[in-house]
Structure formats: structure tokens, C-alpha cells
Structure 1
């Protein structure tokens, strides 16, 4: 048992007797570094401070001291927020009576399941088996973590030959790596190979994801509908199916799918939030209120709490005419989330919505002004919230404030909102003049950023220069000078620091767009040659 001496283990269980029993079992197995958590929230806090080799988690976390989440939802939160790595061993502890329900629902599967009751030898054997699997997959995981996905894909092939018992694990990992570098057709072929042998839920869901990534929403919808029929508790399939319906313009169908998913798995906050958002878009304020009330309640003690949930709940309540309820939500927001610029912005925006409903126009304007000021100092507020705030400002002829808010959206290179979409906010409000003015501001800002990027490059900060160039591209996507600078900057970075597939795709896109706009551009031929040389250097192309 000497090999277990350095293992670190986190036990997550609401039952104090079970925690003590598990600690005793682990000690008997030679594992002395054991810590415990009584519920999902405590586990998340501990994992935010340090990592563990092994997590033993009770599926039913709703017992004494529990917080409503189950072990599967905790696992999904940990993966979603990257609090555990691929090499973390996560073992679910559950009774035989609920095992079938658990395993069928698990898109993000634990490393293993252990059915209760179990002995020291059984638990020790499962941990040993998980460690052997981790040792086999670790070289590939490490290559992926080092930003070397192409090498990791190659390593899957050689590792499969050396460890044939984990062939399916390597095949799944290889498909995920292909997805990570945008090779969706290659990933899809691998998923089809798996499905030809066994109708595994994760493979079907992976195949549907490759279809969505390639814009094949009809095909993905058909695949997912069959997948849900055969795997009615594969929750990720419902989420993706709802997204397909949204993309196909069937938002009411998306809402129905999400409602069905919530009825099966009622505690996942991200799904409840999405249902509320879709319901609001569909004008179903009653359903939106129901969803966002649950989101606010379930997230109350979470480290991932979002003040925007209160804003959306206020929107639903105001739409339904529940002024008193909206006031209570705003008071709760102010009381429980005070102290951050994000919360200040959300509180002021919510108050503006309430005053507007009550006919207090001057008070609404004052709150909107405070919301805009807080937004300028905030970080992480969604583009949707900012667009809603800008629209509210436009309704009250607060032109400068509306433009200011939209500029914060466009200054965020990670924002999914395009320049055309941002302009559309003003055009739909009948303010094309503001759209033109914002366009001029964006072009001016892009020119300033080109100069900043040049200074960073001259100082040797190649990565910083590229990030600044990407900000400029977000602001002026059709500017040929910016496109050339972005492609050239990325090629300098990959030549000096190694291949980055995501950036490589951006560079390729800029080169092709430049070719489409001006096939005789003086920098085009040189960029094409530089790009091909870089790909050959890293074995991306012959």
C-alpha cells in the first residue's frame, strides 16, 4: 500500500457517519491524506484552493447538511468551471437502487461508480483500477494541457497499442481533441465508428455536437431526437436539442425541450437559467418567473452566483405586473450581493425597470444613469444585459449613455456580439445617426489598438500584441489594415512560441477574407506563404 501514501483524497458526503467510515477505509488502504466536505458548496470552495488526486462523492447530497445538488450535478459544475482536471479521479458512491438512473443520465461520466455497501478491498481495488487508467491516459492529457493537440492526437494511436484495454477511452479522447482543434468531420467519423459497434450515449451526443459545429442543425436535431428516445436521461442531449431548435427558429420548441429536461433533472442551475432566458424571449413571463426564482434560490449559497439572475427575475415579475415581488427581489439583490460593481449595475438596472413599470420616469432615468456608470467599472457582465441596458437608455433619449454601454460590449474581444449586431440595436431604435457615430468611434479605437499592439511587439510581448490585435479585429472586422495586422501578428507568435490551432484558424480566416476582398492586396501573397511555412514547420501540412 506504499504507492497510496502520497495520494490526496476529498470525501464529499453529507452523512458524518459515512465520512468517518470512508476515512477509516482509506486509512486502511494506506491513504492518509484525506479531507472531507459536507456538500457541493463546501467541496467547490475546497477545490478552489487546492487539487486532489481522488474525489469520492456520494450521489445523494441532499441528506443532512446537503444543499439540493446531487453528485452528478457537482461533477458537471466542477468540469464546467474547470475546478478539476481530466486526470482527477472522480468516483461516485451510490446505492444499487439508483445506479441505473445515475449512469443513464451521465454525459460527463465519473471515473467509476462504487455501489453501496462496499468493503475496504472493493474501494481500494476501484481506486487502484482508476490509477492504472490515469497512468495510461496521462501522457495524452499532458500534451493537450501543454497546448499540443496535434501531438496528443498522434499519441492516442500509439497509446492504444500499448494499452488496448483503454482503447475506447483513447478513441473518445482522440475525438474530443479533434473537436478542440476544429476538426469536426474527423471527430464525427470517430464517433460514427463507436456507434457502429455500440449505441453509446456519449458517442451519439459527440456526433451531434460535430454536426452543430458544422452548421448542420437539421441533421443534429434528428440525431438528438433519436438519442433522447433511446437515452431519456442523457441530459446534455436535451440542452443541445434545445439549441438546435433555437437555431432553426423554433424557440417555443426549445422551451418545451428544456422544460422536459428540467422535469427530469430539476437542480441544474445553468439549465434552469437557459429555460428562463428562452421563456423571456418567447414572452412567457410566467415560465420565466418560475425558472429564475429557482435559479436565484438554488444559487444562493453558490460560489458561482450571478446577479444577472435577479435582473431577469425582475423582468419577468415586472412583465407580469408584480411590482411588490420585483421590489423584494431588488432588496434581496442589494442585501445579499452588495459590494461589487456588477451587483451595483444589476441593482440599478432592475430598479430602473421597476420605476418604468410604475410610471416614475425621472427615477427610472436616474437609475439608468447609475447602471451605466457601474457598467463602465464592471467586468464579466453579459452582452445580453448590456444590450438590454442600452435599449432602455435609447427609450429615454439617453443617447450618450446608450453608446457608452455598447462601446463596452465592442471593447470586449470575447463578446459574441458582432459590429453589425451592435449597430442593429441603434438602427432598430430609429437612430441610424448613432450607429454611424459608433462606427466612427470603433474605427478610431481600432487604429489606436494597432499602435498599442506595435508597442507591445517591439517590447517583446508577442502574446500581448496578438491579444490587442484581436480586440482591434472585434471592433473593425472588415478593416483590411487590421486583418493584415492580425494575420501577421499570429504568424509571428506561432513561429516564436509554437502552434496554436485556435489562433491558426483566425489567421487563416483573415487571409481568406482578405483574398475575397482584394485578391491583389500587396501583403496577401506573403501572408499565404508565411502561413504555409508555419504549418509545415509544425507538421500541420506537407
Structure 2
């Protein structure tokens, strides 16, 4: 047998005798760097302290989380790299649990009882595969995805046994880089010779990313016709239905998926969200209760789950249960800005439902203050808080919170989105006030960029205006200013194809939004002049 003495292994099993047995089996292969964890929580704390080559995890971890939920946390929070060898060990025969674990792509899945030879053979096979991919993995770890793709191309020819796996990794890396058209083509080529489920899913993800929703829907429906247990396809199909405005269809797809694999917290959470949006309070309540229960022992418990459950119970009119959920949040979650914000939001919703508007205003004001010191709370939760503030006339708090969201580069809320929140709430006065704030900010951005240009820092000026466009992509003051700055950079510092393409894109956007814009003709002429200057052909 090959020398695997250098491997580090984490054993996750509540049974001391089983851990001792596994340690003995590993010792027969010379593997002595072995640590123990008796639960999901202790496993996460161990993994936070050091990385492991192999994780051997029992499915049934007793009280608390099971092995599937541990793996979900490890993947979701990126505590292990994709090439960590994770082998699930279990005697569990319930099919729904088996499929649930399998969809989280452990490296292998070993059913008890097993012999030492069987276990070591699985480890050997996994290590051999990892070693073949090592050069590509090293490039990924360094952040050089282009080099990793090149390694995959070269390795496909040298290792025909793993050629499909290298083709898959190459396509995934292209998608990760945002080269969705190239990734789509890569998956299409794979499917010509190997009609495998993962390639169909990858193709659909690329189509979805390019907003070709009907094509993605067709691809996924075809995939599920041939493989109705491929769980990730259900998740993406639900998102595709949502993108097409088909909320009821999305709910049905998620309900089908949960009936097959009922233990995935992220899917139950998604089902709860969609059910709430469609007005199916019963389904939303059931889903969010399961989320809160299943996540109870997670190291990454999310207090937002309690808020969603309270929101659902308030909509249902069940004050008693809502109060119980808030008490559970207070008892079982460690105090933090996030927890304080969520508790105050939930309490504000309950007080408003009970007609205690003064108490609701106090709680929601506390929530706004707590949100200011929080980290990682979702944009959806914060926009929900804006609506709650508007409902009880906390206009200043709603405006301040929305302004902060608009200026948060991580929120995904554009200036147009901020205005629309108030317009949809029937508060045109606040929308106008937000518009005035936006105009002030845009004017300041343009003035700052002009100052950078006057000092000769053309690239900095372009960066400043690009940052503004990310928040206000259709702003007809920013668009000509950014286009002009890009043309100045191209004219003075040399032709750069990506920047020129972006400039052309902005010109096209200006033409669509305002064909008679007074700056458009001048900017188009300047663009063509710069093309001629560098010998670039001008299309009439």
C-alpha cells in the first residue's frame, strides 16, 4: 500500500469505541495524524483551528446536528476546500436521508459494517484522484483560475481516466470567472459525448446566469425527466420559475424536492420564503419551523430564521406562537448586534399586530440602531425593516436605513431600487426626498472625478464613476460623465479593448434611455475619433 503517513484525518463520531476502531484501521495504513470530534460543533471548532486532508464522519451524531447538516455548514461557510476528502460513514437505511447526504457531494459514502480493507481502499482511491488534480488545485488556491483552466486542459490529455472530471472542473472555473458563454459551450461539448446529469445542471446554470430563463427551464425539466433524484436541479428550477414570475410553480418544485430530501436547511428556508410570498402561510409556517428546529444545534444559527417564522405567525394572527418564538430566540441565541436586531424586529412585528403602536415604534427604532452595528444581516431583512418602519410612520428611520443600504456596496441595492421601495409603498414624498439625496451624491461623485481628471489621474476618475454606475446604472448624469472619462483615458493612455467595449455599452445604454440626450452625438463622435486614432475600424 502507498505511504499515506502524511495525511491528517479528523474522525467525527460520538462513539469512543468507534473512533478507536477507526483510529486502529487508519494506523494499519501508517496514518497517525488523527484528531477526534464527538459532535458537529466540536468538528467545526477543530476545522477552524487546522485543515485536514480527510474527514471521516458518522451520519448519526446523536443529539444536535447530523453528518449531513455538518457537511452543509462546512460547504456553505467554506470551512473546507473543495478538495478536502469527506467520507460519510453510516448504517442509516432511510432512503430520504441517504439521498440528502449524497446531494451534498461527499467524496464517498460508506455503509456500515465495513472492513479495514474497504475503508482504506476508499481513502486510497480518493487520495489518488486528489493527487492527479493537485496542480490545478494549487492554482485555484493561489487565485489563478486562468492557470488552473490551462492545467485542466493539459491534464485531460495526460489522464484519460479523469478526463471527464477535468472537463467538469474547467467548465466550473469558466463559470466562476463569469465567462458564462464559454462555460456553456464547454458543457455542451461534454454533453455531446457524455449525457451526464452534472453537465446538464452546469449548462442550465450558465443559461440562468445569462438570463436565458426559458432555455434553463427546458434544460432542467429534461434533466429531471431522466433523473428525478438530482436534487440541485430542483433548486435551480425553482429559481428559474421565480425569475419568470412563476411563484406557484416554484413552490410546487420546492415541495417536490423536500418530499424527496427533507433535511436540507437551505431548501426548507427557500420553500418558506416562496410560500410566504405566494400567501401560503401554512406551508411557510411549516417550513420555517423545520428550519429553526434543524438549525438549532448549528454553530451558524441564523437569527433571521426566527424573524421569518415570527413574521409568518403574525400574518397568520397567532400571537401566542409568535411570542414563544421570540422567547426561544432570547433564551437560545447568544447576544450580538445581529441577534438584538432580529429580536427587536420580531418584537416590533408582534407589537404592531397587537395594536401597541408606541411599543412597536420603540422596538423598531431599537432594531434600526442595532442594524447599524450588525454584520452579515441580509438585504431582504433590512428592506423588510424599512417597510415595517413605514407602516407605523417612522419615516426618518426608514429613509436613513434605505440610504445606508444604497451606499453599502455589498447590499446589491441600487439608487433606483431605493427610490422604488418608497414608490411601491405609496410614499412619493419619501421617494422624492431619496431622489434629492441621490442627486447630491451623484454630483459629489462627478465633482470628485473631475478633480481626479484635472490632476491627470484618469484611471482613478474612471474607477470613481464606475463605482457610481454600479449603484445607479441608469443615471443620466453619471452615464455621460463616465463615458467621457473613459474616452479621455483611451485617447490619452492608449486603446484598451475591455474599456472600449464598456464605453460602447454605456453609449448604447444612453441611446436606449434617452435617444435625444444632448451629449450623445458628441460622445459618439469622440468615440469614433479615438477608434480612428488607433487604427480601429469604424462600423458605419
Superposition pairs for residues 44-59 of structure 1, below 5 Å?
44-58=44-58
SS at match of 1:91: strand
Contact 1:515 1:521 survives alignment (8 Å): no
1:246 positional shift: 0.9
Query: Moved runs in structure 1, 4+ residues, more than 6 A?
Result: 98-101, 449-457, 462-470, 485-491, 504-507, 526-529
Q: Match for residue 214 of structure 2? A: 218
1:318 positional shift: 0.9
Q: Aligned pair 1:290/2:290, yes or no?
A: no
Q: Match for residue 317 of structure 1? A: 313
Change (3 A) 1:125 1:2: closer
After superposition, the C-alpha distances for 1:79-118 in whole angstroms (9 at most, x for unaligned) are 2221111221222334596799847974442333444433
1: CA distance, partners of 2:95 / 2:104: 15
Change (3 A) 1:80 1:356: same
Q: Match for residue 143 of structure 2? A: 147
Q: Aligned pair 1:35/2:28, yes or no?
A: no
2: CA distance, partners of 1:41 / 1:281: 33
2: CA distance, partners of 1:30 / 1:53: 15
Change (3 A) 1:516 1:322: closer
2: CA distance, partners of 1:99 / 1:31: 33
Q: Match for residue 513 of structure 1? A: 506
Q: Match for residue 16 of structure 2? A: 16
1: CA distance, partners of 2:79 / 2:485: 32
Q: Match for residue 362 of structure 2? A: 366
After superposition, the C-alpha distances for 1:138-159 in whole angstroms (9 at most, x for unaligned) are 2112223323222222221111
Change (3 A) 1:235 1:339: same
Q: Match for residue 417 of structure 1? A: 413
1:484 positional shift: 5.5
Superposition pairs for residues 385-424 of structure 1, below 5 Å?
385-424=381-420
Q: Match for residue 135 of structure 1? A: 131
Q: Aligned pair 1:241/2:234, yes or no?
A: no
Superposition pairs for residues 163-312 of structure 1, below 5 Å?
163-312=159-308
1:165 positional shift: 1.6
What is the RMSD computed on CA atoms of the aligned residues? 3.7
2: CA distance, partners of 1:189 / 1:237: 19
2: CA distance, partners of 1:43 / 1:310: 25
Q: Match for residue 480 of structure 1? A: 479
Change (3 A) 1:67 1:446: farther
1:358 positional shift: 0.8
Q: Match for residue 66 of structure 2? A: 69
Q: Match for residue 514 of structure 2? A: none
Contact 2:188 2:203 survives alignment (8 Å): yes
SS at match of 1:87: coil
2: CA distance, partners of 1:411 / 1:321: 36
Contact 2:12 2:55 survives alignment (8 Å): yes
Contact 1:99 1:115 survives alignment (8 Å): no
Q: Match for residue 537 of structure 1? A: none
SS at match of 1:93: strand
Change (3 A) 1:392 1:246: same
Stretch of structure 1 that moved more, 223-232 or 93-102: 93-102
TM-score, normalization: structure 1? 0.84
Contact 2:207 2:213 survives alignment (8 Å): yes
2: CA distance, partners of 1:407 / 1:281: 25
Structure exhibiting the larger radius of gyration computed from Cα positions: 2
Contact 2:348 2:364 survives alignment (8 Å): yes
Aligned residues: 515
After superposition, the C-alpha distances for 1:158-187 in whole angstroms (9 at most, x for unaligned) are 111222221111010011011112222322
SS at match of 2:133: helix
SS at match of 1:36: strand
Q: Aligned pair 1:156/2:158, yes or no?
A: no
2: CA distance, partners of 1:489 / 1:348: 51
1:337 positional shift: 2.5
Contact 1:511 1:528 survives alignment (8 Å): no
Contact 1:272 1:294 survives alignment (8 Å): yes
1: CA distance, partners of 2:300 / 2:251: 24
2: CA distance, partners of 1:397 / 1:523: 51
Q: Match for residue 540 of structure 1? A: none
Which of 323, 336, 339 aligns to 1:340? It is 336
Stretch of structure 1 that moved more, 173-182 or 144-153: 144-153
1: CA distance, partners of 2:459 / 2:291: 38
1: CA distance, partners of 2:267 / 2:397: 33
TM-score, normalization: structure 2? 0.84
Contact 1:443 1:476 survives alignment (8 Å): no
Stretch of structure 1 that moved more, 412-421 or 270-279: 412-421
Q: Aligned pair 1:438/2:434, yes or no?
A: yes
2: CA distance, partners of 1:168 / 1:227: 18
1:506 positional shift: 9.6
Which of 346, 349, 365 aligns to 1:350? It is 346
List gaps (5 residues or longer) in structure 2: 511-519, 535-540
Contact 1:470 1:486 survives alignment (8 Å): no
Stretch of structure 1 that moved more, 218-227 or 311-320: 218-227
1: CA distance, partners of 2:387 / 2:242: 23
Stretch of structure 1 that moved more, 388-397 or 238-247: 388-397
